[in-house]
Structure 1
Amino acid sequence: MATPESTSVIVIDTEGTVIGWTPAAEALLGYRAADILNRPGALLLTAERAAAWDAAYDGQEDWSGFGVARHRDGTRILVYVEGSRLITPEEKAAWLVAVTPATAGASGRASSWLEPLLTRTPVAVAIWDRDLRCVWLNAAAERLRPVFPHYQLGRSLAEPLPGFHTEAARDAMRKVLSSGVPQLDREARWSSPDQLEDRTLSTSLFRLEGVDGRPLGVCTVAIDISHSRSRDRLALLREASVRIGSTLDVGKTAQELADLAVPALADYVTVDLAASVLPDAEPLQRLAATEVSIPVFRRAGVASIHEGMPESLWSRGQAVFVPPSSPFTEVLSSGRAHFEPVLDTAPGTWLDQDPDRARIIRRTGMHTLIIVPLKARGDILGIAVFVRNDNLEPFTRDDLLLAEELGARAALSLDNARQYTRERTAALALQRNLLPGYLNGGGAVEVASRYLPSDVHEGVGGDWFDAIPLRDGRVALVVGDVTGHGINAAATMGRLRTAVRTLAYMGLPPDELLAHLDDLVVRLEEEDAGPGRLPLDTTGATCLYAVYDPATGRCAMAGAGHPPPAIVAPSGEVAFPRLPSGTPIGLGLGSYRSLEVELAEGSMIALYTDGLIETREADIDAGIDRLGAALARAAALPLEKVCARVIRSMVGDTGSDDDVALLVARTRVL
């Protein structure tokens, strides 16, 4: 058994008496040979281990393990003990015991039995005694001292340090000491007080035990996973769930995918979509093909680590041409990804048919390629292309899986955006056809209007307005708002507008017209539901109906749960007459009353829906005050400019959460 200089050698006879003592043992434990020879070896052990000395090693030829030795001054020392039987010159049996300290003092040099195994490993290893004091550590642990300063010989975890919180680590070590159950892969983030260094460590803890099974301390093994690829990939996927598909806009979603993947996965990324995904773009079939390539996609997203994107042949919105035999068309037709860790640019490949791409590839140093299909609900919406040039590391299979996962998430968002765009376009088209294309106030009023679809929900609601010249020279003005959004709301709006016009031609006063309209909506819903069934969805609507007579200058009006009209006098004074309350249309509870006001020539009547005055930040009353101020400032302008000024003042450039309808009329007197 080798005994290097750091090892203390002790000889103990079978009775447990010390019969041999070396200078190294004196240096380690503090006893001189004269003080310890012929005395019990139990003096060298802590009290709880002395009784186990004989029992632990009785009958064995050799043994080894950790132990806790007792210095002459009473302090405890974590040691590694190796024992072997020997025969003394007097031919008596005895033990040769080699005692090696876990640490060789302040220098931190590992003992010979531990150094080859742990000192050179890149994993941070440390040993802590039962007082949670660091008694040994390797070089990897010392390098982590800026973020975990307790990696220092003699420093205890119980010792508080400013800016560091070790309560959780201390509790975990104590639990391992008491239970003996290891704790594996405890992930924790540690930062230096100046925040200049930030590390994420995966730490495992296990108890060190002597040969008799009693706890001696804790060994910690820490792995720096701050920059592990698996962790980075998980972080990227988490980020993708937040950043991709933040809006229901196809172009923005495609660009979000490209921006996210650069530089985390690739140096250059393009997202090219089929024409069907971009309904507003010119059909690709109308574009002429070249001799070697055809227009297949439109570029919807592109990102590069290089300013100016020298890798890109096409900008966003432009048609992308590809050879029929290229991997791009292969991915589009097969629905399977193309993986080329080492991009083959040799003669005889598909690049012979695409000299422009070949020139760009060679000039920018592209050397590895992934193309993934953007597939959702069985449809292939386009492709995403991932390339590296500055990063010399080729793509791996793990990179391919990551690119496919990002593509799958983006495809679902693109499909949602595509369906939303289609429904919104159809609803807008329906609503444009149902709203009046031209307003005529006859000889009674001059009229102007504005309609803005909302920026949220399905984008189109059931707001409507109308000006209806009557036979006796009067004019009816109406504005309404159907609950809900989308095509159903637009269709219901069309039915109500037609019903209001029919009832208006009958010459009914405002209160009677609203009562008939309420009854009509209830009957239509009952008929749609079928005999004996209740309507599944009750359609509700608010409405304001006014009739102005230029012969008398009087205006009669009634409301069904609708905001009051604004009356602007020729002087610019604004008033909001309080109409008798009435329930919304479609509830079957309608009981309405009219209010009549007298208007001077040149007065302005403004009818509107609640989208103009109601916001998330303010209630309707505050919105009415803002509307009154906007109308007062614009009162002297032509009506078209009045509408533009009011919309800009109330909604601005950010849009509204709800539809906005505004109808403005300036009175004439016969």
Structure 2
Amino acid sequence: MDTENVKNAYSTGAFPGSTGVSGSGPSGRLYACDGLAAAVLDDRGVVVRWTGTAEDLTGFRAEEVCGRPVQELVADLPDDPRGAREMPASGRVRLRHQRGDTIDVTFRTTEVGDSAEVLVLAAPTHHVADQEQGAALLRALSAQNRITIAVHDTDLITVQTNATPDPPDGPPVQPGTRLGDVLCAKDAENLEAVLRQVLETGAPVIRRTQEMSWRHDPARRHALALSAFRLEDARGRPTGVAALYLDSADDLRARRHLDLAREVAEQVGGSLDVVRTAQDLADVLAPGFGDLAAVDLAHSVLDGEEPSKHLNGGNMGNAALAPATAVWPAGIKRGECIPPLPDHPLWRSFLHGEPVVFSLDDFSAVINDLQLVDYLVPKNTHSVMVAPLHARGLTLGTITAWRCGRSDPFTEDEADLMKQIASRGALAIDNARRYTREHRAAVALQQLLLPPATTDTPAAETAGAYLPAGGGAEISGDWYDAIALPSLRLALVAGDVVGNGMPANITMGRLRAAIQTLADLELEPDELLTRIADLVQRLAAEAPPGDHDIVGATCLYAVYDPVTKRCAMASAGHPPPVLVRPDGTAEAVAISPGPPLAVIGLPYETTMIDVEPGSVLALYTDGLVERDDRDIGQGLRCLTEALAAYCRPDRALDETGRALLTDLADQAPRDDAALLLARTRAVPAADTAHWEIPADPTAVSKAREWITRQLTLWGLDDLLFTTELIVSELVTNAIRYGRAPMDLRLIRHNVLVCEVTDSSSTQPRLRRARTTDEGGRGLFLVAQLGGRWGCRHGQNGKTIWSEQAIEESP
């Protein structure tokens, strides 16, 4: 509405340079003329001159009016005409129109020189009112401090303006100047393009945001809302363009605040790393909010723990600085401790989550230590804002923003914005802190649950490697194990629990403990997996409602015997192992996998293979062979080829395992990957002895003779007495309670193993015999004389064994 009034005022001649006059009669017909209607009257009021504009206004030609009294043109005038000199200096009358209508006009008279003639100027009354209102509107607009108005001609030269430079000591803006004389070249070019489009098309521009700088102060930007419209004369011809500039700094600031809040919401909190989250927060604030920004956090927060109740600089360290290219004080470095700050009432407001704004002088007064101020404050700083990172009742640290150079100081409304940003950033940091704590607990738990990375046993040397999902961000339930068994044998295990996080870790720990316990019972691989499947079913039944289907696992269990150089294995839905022979060839072992451990009722099958000494047996989980760009079959082929290339006799197994994980796994795998490598060994034939025992009680004495000769040959005379007693008891029990065929075997390594095998499945049991009992003391003697003893069942019978330690010679 205001712009329309200004436009009308210009078009009706209210401003200098305007000549257009137009009007309409009561019937709505338009009367227009190029200038003010003018006529000259003599001293009697007779028209002596009649201009063309008067003819345009009234419709009467000069020859029709000249020589007649002017009163004849005035409607509703009494019949008592007065002379022209008695005419008022100005007034308002109704003139007759040639078509019979009347026109309400406002006139003004003035004497013509020294003659008695009078010049009368007239215009339609409503146009005169429009001119007066337009002039008043222009004066009012020109007087507004936040509104700048400028009138440009068709060449975009300034005709009239109320613009003043900012700061006031700049050069004045005068009529006759061009935009390029007062504005920076690029800004002037952009603004002229907008005004020229308005001038050419006639389409106005309303509240278009325009940023510009004065030529004498190019570093300072001004945000203005531009409204521009074309000026036209009475015939619609362009005469120039008028522009109004409203100070929109507040609107732009509010928009930037909204944009900044949106950026914080979008960019902060996407990482679960505390330092990364702090850096994201600092990067959003600088330079979007301040020229520099820093995030300082309590040391305990960086470790994932809760901060202390009395947070100060002494127990905080810098976590993030922004921008990275800024020149910081010599003391501020990422990761370094912040010096203790003096106690001050303003610092206590941090406990309530309130930001504090300082000028440099105020900040120096609060610190009261010039050396500490130099340590903390970047150069050219004039305004500082410090806000606490307060979340869930904890103060995690502080965020500090600085403004330097010609930047505007921080304001109170910006303090409110900083409070909102700090609150959102603190929640993101606290989420990352809590995740760090849980993640470290899960990692620590898994490290405690997993076996040593390397083992060295008579059967094999082993090396395990584990890669968590997400590049370390997630912990799942993959595991491996190497369990030393009696008779120098070694059990190898690889498993994968369904799910991730702490529940998967706990399930993995329970399964690993159960497998170790069952392995000590020396069950066959298929029998052991059947028992474990029963356990998984019980775990699923104990799970909360709705979680039964996510309790499960796959597992591969293998037992290698270095005496027979054979390996027995069974799979519960697990990928097959890969065997790398000493000659460098590698292949996946053909096994018959059974169902995963969550499924019961289906049998498992034991597969037996021969393994040459020096071979490498690789057990792994599916995270190593499954990737987005390949299926499990392709992944198994890649693993087999890589094992053939990496498993060299001169290369350490742990180094080989790390290299394989690095090459085969994704950068941030979706699933955990575990790998167990075992380089097999064999017990030399010279370190074993074997005899068949006849089903005759006299075989006990023969067995003692065999033992005496063999131990003497091995130089183990110190074990001769105890070994004879152990063998006598074991052979006697086999003959008395077992069935043929029966065997006796000795194995020498770091221990001496005595084994007696028979075809009976009866389980021997250790008991305490009563004083009057004639038997029942055999196994008791075996247990007392040997280091440990046990019994294992096979497909064709059982084996009772006993171990004795062999002391090394000086």
TM over 0.5: yes
> Structure 1 CA distance, aligned partners of 2:289 and 2:598?
56
Label 1:360 to 1:598 Cα distance change in 2 as closer, same or farther (>3 A). closer
Alignment of 1:114-513 (within 5 A): 122=148, 144=190, 151-155=197-201, 228-279=252-303, 295-303=314-322, 307-310=326-329, 313-326=331-344, 329-341=347-359, 343-344=361-362, 349-352=365-368, 354-360=369-375, 364-437=379-452, 440=455, 442-455=457-470, 459-513=474-528
What is the distance in 1 between the residues matched to 2:654 and 2:370?
56
Deviates more, 1:323-332 or 1:116-125: 116-125
- Work out the CA distance in 2 between the residues paired with 1:517 and 1:20: 106
Tell me, in whole angstroms, the C-alpha distance in 1 between the residues paired with 2:198 and 2:228: 17
* Structure 1 pair 247–586 and aligned structure 2 pair: CA distance change class (3 A): same
**1:645 to 2:659 alignment:** yes
Using the TM superposition, give the Cα deviation of residue 435 of structure 1 relative to its aligned residue in structure 2, in angstroms: 1.1
**Structure 1, residues 377-400: CA drift from partner, whole Å, max 9, x if none?**
111111112222324522101221
Kept in 2, the 8 Å contact 1:367–1:389? The answer is yes
Cα distance in 2, alignment partners of residues 20 and 440 from structure 1: 109
Larger Rg: 2
Distance 2:603 2:201 in 1: 84
SS in 2 for 1:624: helix
Which residue of 1 is the match for residue 612 of structure 2? Answer: 600
* Residue pair 1:458, 1:486 contacting (<8 A) in 2 also: no
Note the residue ranges of structure 2 that are not aligned, 5 or more in a row. 1-12, 39-50, 61-91, 95-102, 110-116, 153-159, 162-177, 180-186, 212-221, 232-241, 684-810
Q: CA deviation at 1:416?
A: 0.8
**In 1, Cα distance between the equivalents of 2:656 and 2:524?**
29
Q: Could you tell me which residue of structure 2 aligns to residue 96 of structure 1?
A: 124
- Residue 462 to residue 112, structure 1, CA distance change in 2 (3 Å): same
Aligned pair count reads 556
Which amino acid is the alignment partner of residue 656 of structure 1?
Answer: P
How far apart are 1:375 and its partner, in Å?
0.9
Q: How does 1:525-544 map to 2 (within 5 A)?
A: 525-527=540-542, 536=548, 538-544=550-556
Q: Deviations over 1:157-187 (max 9, x none)?
A: 7xxxxxxxxxxxxxxx9xxxxxxxxx99899
Deviations 1:197-253 (A, max 9, x none): xx99979999x9xxxxxxxxxx99897979922222222222222332332111122
- 1:666 aligned residue: 679
Higher alpha-carbon deviation: 2-11 or 255-264: 2-11
Of 603, 610, 622, the residue aligned with 1:610 is 622
TM-aligned CA deviation for residue 23 of structure 1: 5.9
Change (3 A) 1:112 1:664: same
TM-score, normalized by length of structure 1?
Answer: 0.69
Whole-angstrom CA distance in 2 between matches of 1:501 and 1:18: 108
Indicate how the Cα distance of structure 1 residues 20 and 357 shifts in structure 2: closer, same or farther if over 3 A, else same: closer
For 2:469, give the aligned amino acid. Answer: S
Letter in 1 for 2:355: A
CA distance in 1, matches of 2:23, 2:406: 63
- For the aligned residues, what is the CA RMSD? 5.0
Higher helix share: 2
Which protein, 1 or 2, shows the higher relative CO under an 8 Å CA cutoff with sep ≥ 6? 1
For 1:497, give the aligned amino acid: R
The amino acid of 1:276's aligned partner reads S
CA distance in 1, matches of 2:605, 2:454: 27
AA in 2 matched with 1:407: A
Deviations 1:473-493 (A, max 9, x none): 432211001122222211111
CA 1:518 to 1:221, structure 2 compared with 1: closer, same or farther past 3 Å?
farther
Q: By how many angstroms is 1:498 displaced?
A: 1.0
1:25-40 alignment, distance < 5 Å: none
Contact residue 298 and residue 318 of structure 1 kept, 8 A:
yes
Residues 321 and 86 of structure 1: CA distance in aligned 2, closer, same or farther (over 3 Å) = closer
Q: 1:525-564 to 2 correspondence within 5 Å?
A: 525-527=540-542, 536=548, 538-564=550-576
1:273 to partner: Cα distance: 1.3
CA positional deviation for 1:321:
1.9
Q: CA deviation at 1:519?
A: 1.1
Matched, 1:591 2:603: yes
